Amino acid sequence: MKEMKGLHIVAYLLLFIGGLNWGLVGLFNFNLVWSIFGAWPMLVNFIYILVGAATVYVIIQHKTDCKCCAMPVKVSKSKKK
């Protein structure tokens, strides 16, 4: 189970990096990943692949990992008077 926790943490860190990068691109047309690793285009592509793989992992694991989604939805019945 510890291995899964590590993978979970890495996946979320990659999602945060990807999300921040897309936010910077959208707001300021500034690609942080390219700015840091632009001298190594293969590394930039590898980082993008890792972010994409992390996204797929989180999508697949979301239902089992998310405490909010795992909770059953309680439907309240209102009484009509």
Residue 19 has pLDDT above 80, yes or no: yes
Please give the model's pTM, rounded to 2 decimal places.
Answer: 0.73
Radius of gyration (C-alpha) of the chain in whole angstroms: 19
Single-letter amino acid, residue 42: M
Cα separation, 75 vs 63, in Å, equals 20
Split at pLDDT 50, 70, 90, the class of 8 is confident
Tens digits of residue pLDDT in 22-51: 999 999 999 999 999 999 999 999 999 999
